[in-house]
A and B are shown apart, each in its own frame.
Chain A
Amino acid sequence: KQEVTQIPAALSVPEGENLVLNCSFTDSAIYNLQWFRQDPGKGLTSLLLIQSSQREQTSGRLNASLDKSSGRSTLYIAASQPGDSATYLCAVLMDSNYQLIWGAGTKLIIKP
């Protein structure tokens, strides 16, 4: 059974710092891995999607990497801003049934 773990559960850093969020998964038979952002009381917004054959994806100040063999992904946020404060969720799409399996999220607070 696939399990997705996100560490840390919460993170608070000063504005301007570069930071890394971690995601690990137990079953490497994934189709893709996605990072989402959720603002309080709102739905989820897709940030980056990495296909299983890819190593990384970049969008602006965000960079996501994928090491499928070791079951790990990282989300790198450069030059953090208070507007980056949100919960970041990692999800893997299973190869077998195309279901998304989710981590519990990392709550990020960027202090001005």
Chain B
Amino acid sequence: ETGVTQTPRHLVMGMTNKKSLKCEQHLGHNAMYWYKQSAKKPLELMFVYSLEERVENNSVPSRFSPECPNSSHLFLHLHTLQPEDSALYLCASSQVQDQRGGADTQYFGPGTRLTVL
């Protein structure tokens, strides 16, 4: 595997389900990101993990819970989601020079298309 991989690629879940999205980067980077992409809206940054510590959380609802066990893996745990949470969830990684996130370009995975019924 190369680059940034995400599983599953598609997920359909009910509002009472609990599921997890997985992201893995094979680039040796030290920062990982979760983004939400809704139709015709700009990407929204959800979480940033830099050097395995969460440094940003942009007021994302608590029904989304990130986990970063090491610099190569990132999870997004989902529970009691709402239909408006249906979107493409993108993971990205980059190499940073400091805790705030650095300035290198980000490399993106293919995304998980999530549908909440």
Mutual binders A and B: yes
Residues of chain A whose beta carbon lies under 8 Å from any beta carbon of chain B: 4, 9, 31-32, 34, 36, 41-46, 49, 89, 91, 93, 97-105
> If the complex has contacts A97-B101, A98-B102, A99-B101, are A89 and B111 also in contact, measured as CB distance less than 8 A?
no
In the assembly, what is the distance between CA of A103 and CA of B102, in Å?
20
- Which B residues lie within 8 Å of A104 (CB)? 40-42
- If A4-B42, A46-B105, A91-B43 are given as contacts, then 7 extra A-B residue pairs at C-beta distance below 8 Å, sorted by A number, are A41-B110, A43-B110, A44-B90, A46-B106, A98-B101, A99-B45, A100-B45
In the assembly, what is the distance between CA of A98 and CA of B99, in Å?
10
> If the complex has contacts A43-B4, A102-B42, are A97 and B106 also in contact, measured as CB distance less than 8 A?
no
In the complex, which range does the number of interface residues on chain B fall in?
A: 20 to 34
> If the complex has contacts A98-B100, A98-B101, are A43 and B106 also in contact, measured as CB distance less than 8 A?
no
CB distance from B111 to the nearest CB of A (A): 5
Let me know if B100 and A31 touch, CB within 8 A: no
Q: 16 interchain pairs (CB within 8 A)?
A: A9-B40, A41-B110, A41-B111, A41-B113, A42-B110, A43-B6, A43-B109, A45-B108, A46-B105, A93-B103, A98-B96, A98-B102, A99-B48, A99-B101, A102-B43, A103-B42
> If the complex has contacts A43-B90, A44-B108, are A98 and B103 also in contact, measured as CB distance less than 8 A?
yes
Residues of chain B whose beta carbon lies under 8 Å from any beta carbon of chain A: 4, 6, 40-43, 45, 48, 56, 90, 92, 96, 100-103, 105-111, 113
A32 touches which of B45, B103, B108 (Cβ 8 Å): B103
Let me know if B105 and A49 touch, CB within 8 A: yes
A46 touches which of B41, B56, B107, B110 (Cβ 8 Å): B107
CB distance from B38 to the nearest CB of A (A): 10
- Which B residues lie within 8 Å of A32 (CB)? 103
- Which A residues lie within 8 Å of B90 (CB)? 43-44
Let me know if A97 and B105 touch, CB within 8 A: no
